[in-house]
Chains A and B, each alone.
Chain A
């Protein structure tokens, strides 16, 4: 299987309040279609690593290749476009835009990409909402949905541009058991049926154990892959 993401010798310092090495020459290869969990204790640097992989954090040493593109050194706007087209995000706090409907939230990244006309984007968005079982709430304002529902909408939003990789930062961290398993099942299905690459950072041991591969981190280093 081809490698979709290759991070090599990634080192990162926190400068405030005292200089501190969060990541120490971390290297990982992720294959296409893998469902990967990054696990580890609080403060081990797993989230920091994820934000570097997500291209949002550009302040690091080492190299990051996604889909054979060397992303180190790109400008912010180029990276934004790259994220828009190739990456999907699911965060611990669902981060929907509260003023917009669920449907509109899902549509926004696609409208930004502008690859399809608005009508087609809408039908695609409804399709994605169906996939996460939220199509009946499509017209509701995002602020009126429950936490679990919001997270499912956030997953639909992450999927809208058919990204290469979906990244999750504790996607179930803020959810109860029932909702956690719904979210996990959605990820599982995406990985099995669509061969979607998924990288999640998680505290939840069940979630981690049920994924394809676990990367254990400790003190800024990968201890087992």
Chain B
């Protein structure tokens, strides 16, 4: 078949039916642009959620959770062998949250291929006192250099200097929400009370903000040595190991590997944030359904218009066939028309989609309690635009194919004889 000829005829048809062509193109354009806005926004939200989850927790965290042991203290004795031992309302054992041999384990984990780095922490519940009020929160002793290198703490700083934690033993940085509650700024002093009743006065060296109120309203950081001192523990006392991986999607298998190798409790970021991330799945499903519907509607629009077009062009089709055009030529002519509509509509659609996404990306987001984001999260990914164009192309190809087949089956004798 002769594509140049078919192309020439298609273009003439499209140009002479300018209005109809335009309407069909607009159908595709809106379909594709909405598809792009939808997927960009949804994946933007998903990514934002993942970022929040990732900020809040390390890829893999090692700590000693509070747990009730199955075996009782009596199981160590001999006389239970012929008897049942039942202990009602067993209490958790008074285990220290300390990780045994933490530094040795950290060193070994750091040598694993998938691991980028390990940062040890000492964490404890504390009360912050500023004047008469008491605010509960947590205090974590951190290795400042590692925290900077692997967890990007510096970028979360709102005021003050993170390095002060290295320089002085009485420095602390507090979350933005916490600072606001106590009405303290960098340079002010707060007193800290531990669950054991020890009190220490520390100087606020700065504030940080993760954008997640559960963190910013409760967390504070100091150096490991400072926290160990408040808790009156020795320098080997480490409660958490925060592990950063090279590839965060592999957190689950790596966490399992570490758990099995070191017989130690591990928690990956997905598990730690499962409720936050569950909504991602819902959003993905919704995006899929809506996108499919949009494309289907655009496709039916094209189908309708092409069908009408073919009914209007019956005579032309008959004469083309009478003068020797084959069925394939006719399919080509009408298929090319829908593909051109689809392609042009798709191109316009990705432009409009980009425009809408750009507007959405500067739309302010009302600041809530849970997250702190300034504007709607939009994911500008070239992939979506290519996908949109491709979908537009495929949908119109399908929608145009059946009317074109119908055109090719026109019996010229019937039309010409009337």
Contacts and interface: CB of A to CB of B under 8 A. Distances in A.
A157 interface: yes
A51 B12 CA distance: 29
A80 B326 contact: yes
Interface string B1-31: 0100100110011001000000000000000
A99 B413 contact: no
Interface residues of A, number: 31
B328 A99 contact: no
Given A77-B328, A113-B324, A95 B12 contact: no
Contacts of A95: 315, 318-319, 322, 416
Interface string B326-349: 111100000000000000000000
Contacts of A85: 324
Given A56-B412, A91-B416, A97-B316, A83 B323 contact: yes
Kindly state the interface size class of chain B when it binds its partner. 20 to 34
Nearest to B324: A84
Nearest to B15: A99
13 contacts: A51-B413, A56-B321, A56-B412, A77-B326, A80-B321, A80-B326, A84-B323, A91-B416, A109-B323, A109-B324, A112-B2, A114-B2, A161-B324
Most chain A beta-carbon contacts within 10 A, residue among B2, B13, B315, B417 = B417
Secondary structure class of chain B's binding surface, majority of residues: helix
B8 to A, nearest CB: 8
Interface of A: 47, 51, 54, 56-57, 76-77, 80-85, 87, 89, 91, 95-100, 108-109, 111-114, 157, 161, 169
B407 to A, nearest CB: 14
Interface of B: 2, 5, 8-9, 12-13, 16, 315-316, 318-329, 412-413, 416-417
A56 B324 contact: no
Contacts of B318: 95
A112 B417 contact: no
Nearest to A86: B324
B321 A100 contact: no
